[in-house]
Structure 1
Amino acid sequence: MGKLVPQLRFKGFTDPWEQRKLSTCLTESVIPGHSGDQAKKLTVRLWGKGVVEKTTLQNGSSATQYYVRKSGQLMYGKLDFLHAAFGIVPQELDGYESTADSPAFDIADDVDKEFVLQSCLRKELYLYQGSLADGSRKAKRVHSQTFLQMTANFPSLEEQQKITELFRTMDDLIAAHERKLELLRLKKRYYLQQIFSRKLRFRGFTEPWQQRKLGELYEKGRSGGTPNSENRNYYGGNIPFLGISDLNGRYITNTSKHITEMGLINSAAWLVPEGAISLAMYASVGKVGILSQPMATSQAFFNMVFPSTIVRNYIFARLDKAALDSEWNKLVSTGTQSNLNAQKIKEWAAYSPRPSEQRIIGDLFLLIDEMIELQEEYLSLMGRLKENYLHALYC
């Protein structure tokens, strides 16, 4: 076996890493606490999202034994081990309790707590455990003894601290931008509700709004269609084919499926032009997106082509509000799943101002959506960067 050396290192560190069993740096803590009906409970969130207070509507069972957890201890969820349910008990939850299904471990002084946590959150560790877990496929448990026999690689304590300092800085940046993204979404929701209720208007506009049916505002509106899925000649072509899962954000840029010209001709599908709005009638009812290129859609969408970008952007914002406030719920037909239909969409009415005010409103929400998209792209980039560093700085 060669020397354990990561791909990327901080300047000044050259010594090889050491492979150790987790039992050499972790000791299980078993401090009996209260019964389930009296314990102040905590839980471990999935995907390394930390240890948090557990809130339940009902008290636990008086027959269930809970165990006291201390701040700084490492915890994991036995049933969610394969979903990276790991975390460090924060100071504010010191003395809270969990059952034996969420064990806790004291961490030795010769290792960095956050380094141990990041080691556990690497797929090489938590996914490896799958073959060793006890129980059925849906209820695998990774017991403490099994966990402690696992191995991880450790550099010197100084190098561990350098690595965790980098990830702490990255996590702080990610958290700050997550807060900024949440504030932008809240601001958008506030403006949607205030502007479309006409409680808030731009300076200089005082004329009353007119109620218009949606069918009066677009030039062309029609649902899509789906080519026969059993005919392979209809799929795998160059025409993007929109599905519900492709709706994510203001603009629809890519689709998971494509169809052929033959599939388009031999179905109710049609080539919806770039810039049209597609509105989901099934599943995620009311969800909307703007096509960034010509696409075909399934019958789950009602597609609308508008006479101008001004009208399109204004209506998109209004439909966005309708989706956020679940306005479509009172119009859906119930059955196996709740659906809209084309006629109900055409008849749906909303208040609209003159084009000059429509333009300003549409531009405002376009700007907010672009700011939200930038934040989402930044967070996605930081997530990938962190993943790359986890791979390169660890071995």
Structure 2
Amino acid sequence: MSLPILVKKTIQKSSDVLTLGLNLTGLRLSRTRSNDNYNKTNYYIRHAGQLIYGKQNIFKGSLALITKEFDKKCTSIDVPSLNIENIDKKYLFYIMSNPKFYESTEKEAVGTGSKRLHEDKLLNLKITVSKDFLEQKKISRLADKTNSLITLHQSYKN
């Protein structure tokens, strides 16, 4: 993983801004609010394929992969993105979305009141992964299929 080059963007409308849910609930567009509020914060463009996380809430499952649907949307510096290189993106995401992993990141967070896990700390965490790219792909496809089955069964319950 690496830090992307930050490109600022002036926000014109709320649909330019991404928000990230807790408990792996994923990405969504911001709710409408006054443009004046957007002008008080710096926003940065994020790209499809990047890992995004909430500095204050990663240990509560606030992380996602940016999909094509959210390409070129923006977040503040408190919701950074990271480029993923030399590893299957979904494979890495599935490892990091394990509660044992993301809950353990809290011990690396710093600050009083609202603790934050900064990018440098996240980049230095030891993550054990398979070195075999084909195996990574197989595992991520299997996880995708499992998630699809769970979603299907949940829809039957409702």
**Could you tell me the TM-score, scaled by structure 2's length?**
0.88
Match of 2:150 among 152, 166, 174: 174
Q: Judging changes above 3 Å, is the alpha-carbon distance between structure 1 residues 175 and 58 closer, same or farther for their aligned structure 2 residues? A: farther
Cα offset for 1:176?
Answer: 2.1
Match of 1:56?
32
Cα offset for 1:96?
Answer: 0.3
1:33 pairs with 2:8: yes
Match of 1:144 among 114, 119, 123: 119
Match of 2:53 among 71, 76, 80: 76
Provide the secondary structure at the position in 2 that maps to 1:152. Answer: coil
2-side partners of 1:84 and 1:124: how far apart? 10
Cα offset for 1:128?
Answer: 2.2
Letter in 1 for 2:128: N
Letter in 2 for 1:71: A
1:153 pairs with 2:128: yes
Over 4 Å off, 4+ runs: 36-39
Matches within 5 A, 1:342-381: none
Cα offset for 1:56?
Answer: 3.1
Number of residues of Structure 1 aligned to a counterpart in Structure 2: 155
Cα offset for 1:38?
Answer: 4.9
Deviations 1:197-224 (A, max 9, x none): xxxxxxxxxxxxxxxxxxxxxxxxxxxx
Deviations 1:119-158 (A, max 9, x none): 111234222222221122x511100011100011111111
Match of 1:163?
139
Match of 1:111?
87
Match of 1:268?
none
Q: Judging changes above 3 Å, is the alpha-carbon distance between structure 1 residues 176 and 58 closer, same or farther for their aligned structure 2 residues? A: farther
Match of 2:109?
133
Deviations 1:209-251 (A, max 9, x none): xxxxxxxxxxxxxxxxxxxxxxxxxxxxxxxxxxxxxxxxxxx
Unaligned ranges ≥5, structure 1:
1-25, 183-395
Matches within 5 A, 1:207-218: none
Q: Which has the larger radius of gyration?
A: 1
Decide which structure has greater strand share: 1
Provide the secondary structure at the position in 1 that maps to 2:47. Answer: coil
Is the 1:30–1:67 contact (alpha carbons within 8 Å) kept by the matching residues of 2?
no
Deviations 1:292-338 (A, max 9, x none): xxxxxxxxxxxxxxxxxxxxxxxxxxxxxxxxxxxxxxxxxxxxxxx
2-side partners of 1:54 and 1:180: how far apart? 30
**Could you tell me the TM-score, scaled by structure 1's length?**
0.37
Match of 1:99?
76
Provide the secondary structure at the position in 1 that maps to 2:8. Answer: strand
Deviations 1:255-280 (A, max 9, x none): xxxxxxxxxxxxxxxxxxxxxxxxxx
Letter in 2 for 1:101: D
Letter in 1 for 2:149: L
Deviations 1:74-112 (A, max 9, x none): 10001111101110111111110000111111111x211
Q: Judging changes above 3 Å, is the alpha-carbon distance between structure 1 residues 38 and 31 closer, same or farther for their aligned structure 2 residues? A: farther
2-side partners of 1:90 and 1:54: how far apart? 16
